[in-house]
Structure 1
Amino acid sequence: MRKSSFLVLFLVAFGLTAQAQDKDQVIENMIKEAKENSQLKKLAYEVTDLIGPRLVGTPQMQKAHDWAVDTYAEWGIEAENEQWGVWRGWERGVSHIDLIEPRVVSLEGMQLAWSPSTDGPVTGEVVIVPDLEDSVAFQNWLSNEVEGKFVMISMMQPSGRPEYNWKEFATEESFEKMKKDRQEAAEAWADRIEKTGYNARSLPAALEEAGAAGVVASYWSQGFGVQKIFSASTKNIPMVDIALEDYGMLYRMVENDAKPKLRINAESKELGEMPTFNTIATIKGSEKPEEYIILSAHFDSWDGGTGATDNATGTLVMMEAMRILKKMYPNPKRTIIAGHWGSEEQGLNGSRAFVEDHPEIIENIQAVFNQDNGTGRVVNISGQGFLHAYEFINRWLEPVPQDVRRHIETTFPGSPAGGGSDYASFLAVGAPGFSLSSLNWSYFNYTWHTNRDTYDKIVFDDVENNVILTAILTYMASEDDQSFKREKSILPVNPRSGRQMTWPNQRNATRRGMLD
């Protein structure tokens, strides 16, 4: 071999070795920063305890957007609040629900989101939607029995103990009897509501028109002390959710003709038309600035708790990953964007608006990494139907530490999600969006849209795990010599319908929420 050829080979080998060493050093530095200088608890405290829940259209949502921009600025990262629409403005105040007859006790409950204010305490007798023959009989009841009363519209649960608790302690016969009683009670209640001629959504409006003082519901989440808190469907009278335990007590009092009375004070403010935003943070690429990696997490929440695991934890993962990337990888090859979306809870509206408004970004996305479903460590990544996802995802996962990677199952090519979280907005236009899907931690029963979704439910070890994973995936996707190949796989046959599955369609964002 000639000396010149040998020298060339040596320099190439040396360059590749140095490049590998540089990569290893960057990743090592990111892991060390995540473990030894974590900002997660500070960020979690600020966004959940200080700002609180982030319902779209509320001042708290605006405070959160401004806080994120200011926090990014402290880290030397450019960020802005990008308006994409307007929403009905509303602000929650005090909820106080008191039983005043036949005895006095304050009950556990709260007004639902966008509930009308009572403008001071309102007192009235409590009644239950009756089990009548048909809608004609129900209309007669509406005309004669509703005015000035609080109407209970939810079934009474046979037991406040979750099924897993029964399964652990009950005899087999008792457990089966409980499940049968629950099923029969649910079916009977559904039949009762159907015979009114209304459904769960339209019934409150009918009660309001008939002169009810308020609507009382109880949406149990099948966990000890946990209620789902969604939105009111009344325009002028309060709609409240009362915890299973107190709701059952009221129900039994009505059934036994004790004629219970409630005093409800539900304070809230209507704020008119409020702007809605996405917070967009950017670390500009140095070699391929027109190609993008997007770190995706919705910023808004329901407001029964403080939105800690849905989705402050996803937000924290993306913010902390951005901080670490800026510090340890300040000049990425591709542009890195963090998208903190508004109004995901009402239909992925913030991310859908971003997709509609930024076609120049969408067509050049290398990857979207989205985290939403709770505080748990990531345990699954699907290829979302992209034929070559196996090649790219596995390459990006390769340097992830074993104590992080060993928890993760991958599915290739997978099938594209049509909804569920914001990565679906990108998939619908053929952009590579991937869900970093988390371990459950009793998410759906205990924290998803509930009054218990609070700071104390965050598992910071798992969130740190996800920060390390996200930072490394982003670094590897940015440094990859290849751009992601968007060729789609042939989707399988749906076993339920027997028809071949199709790629999800793009849906428009709602730009005027609850205003028309």
Structure 2
Amino acid sequence: MKKLMLSFIGTIILFTAVQAQTVQSVVSEMEKEAYENSHLESLAHELMDVVGPRLVGTPQMKKAHDWAVDTFSEWGIKAKNEEWGTWRGWERGICHIDLISPRVVSLHGRQLAWSPGTPPGGITANIVTLPTVADADAFAEWLTGIKGKWVCISMPQPTGRPDYNWEEFATETSFEKMKKEREEQTQAWRQNIRNTGYNSRTLNQALEEAGAAGILQSRWSRAFGANKIFGANTKNIPVIDLSLEDYGMLYRMAVNGDKPKLRVVAESKELGRVPTFNTIATIPGKELPDEYIVLSAHFDSWDGGTGATDNGTGTITMMEAARILKKVYPNPKRTIIVGLWGSEEQGLNGSRAFVEDREEVVKGLQALFNQDNGTGRVVQISGQGFLHAYDYLGRWLAAVPDTITKHIETTFPGSPGRGGSDYASFVAKGAPAFSLSSLSWSYWNYTWHTNLDTYDKIVFDDVRNNALLTAILTYMASEDPERTSRERAVLPVNPRTGQQREWPSPRSPNRNGGQ
């Protein structure tokens, strides 16, 4: 009996050693492929430079989906575009913004997403600013005089320098004075908007109904040259976002009686209802085809820049990881899916549609890895509230080179994501989905939803590490002899309400968007 037991233990040790050797060999091959044969630069060029921004409902979004399917096919990975709804079709054209009086200069700006265009010859009109009013009646009286004029609706910023620049160079007294005056100006501006009887969501419609020629705004992102670029909410008149410095100049001219005149030519096309998609690529599992690992990234973007760090880098991370896996690990134990989701920016719509439409994937999910917050190396992974997430994520991370894991902090069991990105669509269903959260690289101010979110902001060394990390985690999750546990941790009490937090509930997508 003792001999038999020793033989059994020896067999286990030998099996474990062979298994470890196999893992090490596969990881080494992945490292070599990731670092010596990277496709990231070419993928980034094709997606950001050639395809460009990927606003849902635009021809560029469909072009991106088709490009991804073709690219996966070139790698021998089956892929398709899965339609999940329709959206308002719209296409951006050229936009020229010129001050023509009291002097001539071309300005920096753009029409917002889904903005109505101008007539072919453009719109040439004077500029007015919002008045200071005591109440809604006074504002209603002012509205009667804005027909045919450009209206400035943003507060003119007192400085175009970010706070960190002031902190480095200004005297402490000057910096504190600027902040105090800016805060007072901001509070007064917000109160004045309330006095009009409107808010940021309803003001544009009131100006449009009153006959304004168009709307001018500047949504500064508190970074040099960066503005947030979102959607227009008008039906007939254009909405233009101008750089902080150009907007401030026009504003000062208007309030000082210089009678600025602006000409804008902004082309756009309404394309009716168009289908919207997720791109789904699949490497079939050989032993457990009904169990899945999903590589997740949203494909769409806002279109102030080219969507490079939100979420071009997440997209090419998952595509590159899939390419590496297909080359090094072509016959996975479990099925590997790459999900490039549409319309995340409008409420996780693509991934929410997927979890509704593809219940078998949710049911059989071994793990999902999502990346969506900039170009930086992954520095944080949370267990998302799954009680035993440490057990399996710890096993998988142990195979990742120290050069990558030394930068990563983990939180277990963590709390379930309630939004923010597409992993939350799966977490709400109780499926083990995890965010690979990255280092900032000034993401929130400089590139998140701004006009500066472009190829030059990509840090390819960090993205390469993220692609390798994703590939190794996927390999380990696929080969793991155990299914991942879905047992949920007891969530803490919300200190604000005194009530115990509840697991997030699934939400249905908007399948008929952009109305």
Please indicate the TM-score interval, normalised by the length of the shorter structure: over 0.9
Name the % identity: 67
Instruction: Give RMSD over aligned pairs.
Output: 1.2
Aligned partner of 1:393 in structure 2 is: 393
1:32-431 aligned at under 5 Å gives the runs 32-120=32-120, 121-143=122-144, 145-431=145-431
1:496 aligns to what SS in structure 2? coil
Once the two structures are TM-superposed, the CA of residue 16 in structure 1 deviates from its matched residue by: 3.1
Query: Within the alignment, does 1:487 sit opposite 2:487 as a pair?
Result: yes
Query: In 1, Cα distance between the equivalents of 2:17 and 2:486?
Result: 31
| Inter-partner Cα distance in structure 2 for 1:90 and 1:187 | 36
CA contact (8 A) 2:204 2:233 kept: yes
Aligned partner of 1:35: which letter? Y
- The CA deviation at 1:453 is 0.2
Look up the SS of the partner of 2:83 in the other structure: strand
For residues 499 and 6 of structure 2, the distance between their equivalents in structure 1, rounded to whole angstroms, comes to: 60
Q: Secondary structure at the match of 1:174?
A: helix
**CA distance, structure 2, for counterparts of residue 475 and residue 492 of structure 1:** 33
1:6 CA displacement: 6.6
Deviation at 1:498, TM superposition (A): 2.4
Question: How much has 1:55 moved relative to structure 2?
Answer: 0.1
Partners of 1:303 and 1:508 lie apart in 2 by 25
User: Quick one: distance in 2 between partners of 1:348 and 1:239?
Assistant: 25
Residues 475-496 of structure 1: per-residue CA shift (max 9 Å, x gap): 1111111101000000011222
| Structure 2: stretches of 5+ with no match in the other structure | none
Instruction: Give the counterpart letter for 2:128 in structure 1.
Output: V
The one-letter amino acid of 1:484's match is: T
Quick check: 197-206 or 17-26, which moved more?
Answer: 17-26
Change (3 A) 1:163 1:2: closer
Cα distance in 2, alignment partners of residues 146 and 134 from structure 1 = 18
Secondary structure of 1:161's aligned partner: coil
Structure 1 residue identity aligned to 2:80: E
Letter in 2 for 1:40: L
C-alpha distance in 1 between matches for 2:400 and 2:15: 23
In 1: Cα distance, 2:82 partner to 2:135 partner: 51
Q: Which moved more, 1:16-25 or 1:48-57?
A: 16-25
Deviation at 1:15, TM superposition (A): 3.4
Q: What SS does the corresponding residue of 1:165 show, helix, strand or coil?
A: helix
CA distance in structure 1 between the partners assigned to 2:137 and 2:417 by the alignment: 44
- Give the secondary structure class of the aligned counterpart of 2:38: coil
Q: CA deviation at 1:9?
A: 5.6
> How big is each residue's C-alpha offset from its partner over 1:168-216, in whole Å with a ceiling of 9 and x where there is no partner?
1111110101111111111111011111111111111111111110000
- Between the aligned partners of 2:219 and 2:31, the Cα distance in structure 1 is 42
2:474 is the counterpart of 1:474 = yes
The Cα offsets for residues 40-76 of structure 1, whole Å up to 9 and x where unpaired, read as 0000000000000000000000000000000000000
Aligned partner of 1:174: which letter?
S
Measure the CA separation in 2 of the matches of 1:54 and 1:181: 39
Query: How far 1:233 moved relative to its partner?
Result: 0.8
Kindly state the Cα deviation for residue 12 of structure 1 after the two structures are TM-superposed.
Answer: 4.8
Q: Which amino acid aligns with 1:277?
A: F
Question: Which amino acid in 1 is paired with 2:86?
Answer: V
Please report the TM-score for the alignment, with normalisation by the length of structure 2.
0.98
Distance 1:13 1:391, change over 3 A: closer
Rounded Cα–Cα distance in structure 1 between residues aligned with 2:166 and 2:504 = 40
- Please report how far the alpha carbon of residue 14 of structure 1 lies from its aligned counterpart in structure 2 after TM superposition: 3.4
After superposition, give the CA deviation of every residue in 1:333-381 in whole Å (9 maximum; x if it has no partner).
Answer: 1111000000000000000000000111101101110000000000000
| TM-superposed deviation, 1:7 | 6.3
Contact 2:118 2:238 in 1 (8 A): yes
* Paired residue type of 1:207: L
How far off its partner does 1:23 sit? 1.3
Distance 1:13 1:221 in 2: 57
TM-score, normalisation: structure 1: 0.98
Q: For 1:339 and 1:423, how far apart are their aligned partners in 2?
A: 11
Distance in 1 between residues matched to 2:340 and 2:426, nearest whole Å: 14
Instruction: Provide the rounded CA distance (Å) in 2 between the counterparts of 1:299 and 1:409.
Output: 27
Say whether the 8 Å CA contact 2:299–2:340 is kept in structure 1. Answer: yes
Distance in 1 between the 2:248 and 2:66 partners? 42
Q: Could you list the per-position Cα deviations for residues 129-159 of structure 1 after superposition, in whole angstroms to 9, with x for gaps in the alignment?
A: 111111001111111x200000000000000
CA–CA distance in structure 2, aligned partners of residues 12 and 446 of structure 1: 53
Partner of 2:449: 449
Paired residues in the alignment total 514
* Matched position secondary structure for 1:273: strand
Q: Which runs of 5+ in 1 are unaligned?
A: none
Structure 2 distance, partners of 1:130, 1:40, is: 51
| More displaced 10-residue stretch of structure 1: 178-187 or 17-26 | 17-26
Q: Give 2:298's aligned amino acid.
A: H
Question: Which AA in structure 1 matches 2:394?
Answer: N
CA separation in 1, counterparts of 2:418 and 2:16? 41
Q: 2:23, 2:399 within 8 Å by CA — same for their partners in 1? A: no
3-state SS, counterpart of residue 165 of structure 2: helix
2:221–2:446 Cα contact (<8 Å) kept: yes
CA contact (8 A) 2:216 2:240 kept: yes
Letter in 1 for 2:124: T
The amino acid of 2:132's aligned partner reads D
How far apart are residue 5 of structure 1 and its match? 7.3
Displacement of 1:10 in angstroms is: 5.1
